Amino acid sequence: KGEEGRGEGSGSGRGGVGGGRERGEEDDLPVAEKYRRTWETAKRHWDRLGPSVSRFDPLYGTALVAYTVGDDLYRDFNTATREAGRSRASYRHYAFRDFHFLLTKAVQAKAGGGVCYQVFRGIQNVRFTLSDEATVVRFGQFASSSLDKTVAINYGQDTFFSIRTCYGARMDDVSYHPNEKEVLIPPYEIFAVMAYHQTENGVHITLESRGVFSRRNCDSVNGKRPGEREENTGFEAAPEGKFPAISGGAAGAPKSRLGRLNV
């Protein structure tokens, strides 16, 4: 089980990241009609939480729950977010702006207080290599992790991350799958690469939070499976250090909900 941090984060820079317009509960469905069932399932789950979440914006809370349901909304959102990060032209066709905005605001609100967490993230069927130039990186998408190392291991060890996040939001009190002990890491958090080594099961990368970054002009990092074209994994280099050589490939379809670099 991962150890919970005790207020060691800087606590700065948490407001205003992500952009977007303010919304209210009276707005229309913030996702496409095809995801209505997921949204309604999430809303019912949120409503059942009752007084324990009464001070949290229900629209933000429903977005958090909808993300943890783990169905087509989650998969399509992550795929579209990675595609949108490729270029400004791709971003113009991004269909999840409202949902991305709500999820960003929800994570910011829930992660307040400067608490850091030691978490783990397992990925199956994609293995990454690291260049000596890599110093500071970000995931570039919402990335799930777990406080429980065993949970993360069960999702894969081809690439395994040990992460100290200070901007991630603890989700087990609201998640549709609370036993996963999830901490949701935002796309704008940047990390120092503390260690990288090969293991008998794959590769192990250790990351430590170094603040936030919100511009969209970072270099993307690519990973691919044999026989497929290069695709953006959503793991990007922040300007403080290039991370051009993180790439990998393996056969098999991705199946990890916590391992989102290739989903």
Q: Parallel, antiparallel, or unpaired: how do β-strands 159-165 and 203-212 relate?
A: parallel
Active site residue 182: yes
Q: Whose CA is closest to 245, among 211, 218, 220, 210?
A: 220
* Percent of residues in the chain assigned helix, strand, coil, to nearest 5: 30, 25, 50
What lies within 8 Å, CB to CB, of 77 at 6+ separation is 67, 96, 99, 100
Helix (H) or strand (E) holding 107, with range, is helix 97-110
Within 4-57, residue ranges assigned H as helices are 36-49
Sheet with 117-123, side-by-side order of all strands = 169-170, 182-185, 143-146, 117-123, 159-165, 203-212, 189-198, 136-138, 231-237, 219-223
Contact status, residue 161 vs residue 118, Cβ threshold 8 Å: no
Alpha-carbon 65 to chain mean position: 14
From the candidates 14, 82, 121, 138, which is the catalytic residue? 121
Q: How far apart are CA 198 and CA 128, in angstroms?
A: 10
From the candidates 82, 138, 144, 209, which is the catalytic residue? 144
Q: Which amino acid is at 55?
A: R
Q: How far apart are CA 71 and CA 68, in angstroms?
A: 8
Active site residue 121: yes
Q: Measuring CA to CA, how many Å separate 46 from each of 53, 60, 69, 112, 171? A: 8, 10, 12, 20, 12
From the candidates 182, 209, 236, 247, which is the catalytic residue? 182
Active site residues: 121, 144, 182
